[in-house]
Amino acid sequence: MDRRWNMLIGIVVGIVIVGASIYATGFTRRLLNPFRIFSVHKSSASATAPELATGNWINSEPLTLKDLRGRVVLIEFWTFGCINCRNTLPFVKSWDDRYRERGLTVIGVHSPEFDDERKVENVRREIASLGIRYPVVTDNDYQTWDAYNVAAWPTVFLLDKQGRIRWMHVGEGDYDAAELLIQKLLAEKES
C-alpha cells in the first residue's frame, strides 16, 4: 500500500511542477492557442490599422478604413462555423444597432476555417440566417487575417476615429470592457 501511495504522491507532485512550469514560462497561451480559449487585450493607441484586403462584400459596397476616418470601427474576425463566434454575435449585433447612428461602423471579416465556409453563397446564407445587418467582407486568402496577425476566431479590434488600433480581444467575453471603450472612443474629439 505504501508503494502505491508514494507513486500517487509522486504523480501529483509531478503534475503540479509541470503545470507551474508551463504557467511561469508563459507557455500557457501557446498551449491553449489551438483551443481558442485565451484572451489578450491592447488598450493603448498604436499604429494605424492595416487596410482591409479585397474580398466579396455582403450588406455593403466595398469599404476602406481610409474612407471611414472620423468613425469608430469595430472589426471582428469570424467564421460562421465557429461556436465561439456565434456566442459573440448577439453582442456585436447589439453594438451595431445601438451605436451605428452615433458613429460606429462594425465590419465582419469572414475568414474561413473549413472549405464550405469559403463559398460566398454559404456565407450569404448564414449572414441572412443569423440576422447580420452590418457589412461583412470575405477573407478567403487570409490577407486581412495575416495583416492583423490574427491567431484565432473570434478576434475583435476597435479602431479610433483616426484609424488606430486601440483595443483587441481574442475569444469570447470582455463585452462590458468593449462597450465602455466603444462609448469612450465615440466621445473622443477627432485630432
DSSP class per residue in 143-176: HHHHHTT--SSSEEEEE-TTSBEEEEEESS--HH
Q: How many angstroms separate the CA atoms of 100 and 90, rounded? A: 15
List, in order, residues 6 or more apart from 176 with CB less than 8 Å away: none
Write out pLDDT tens, residues 129-182.
999 999 999 999 999 999 999 999 999 999 999 999 999 999 999 999 999 999
Write out pLDDT tens, residues 25-75.
555 544 454 444 444 445 445 689 999 999 999 999 999 999 999 999 999
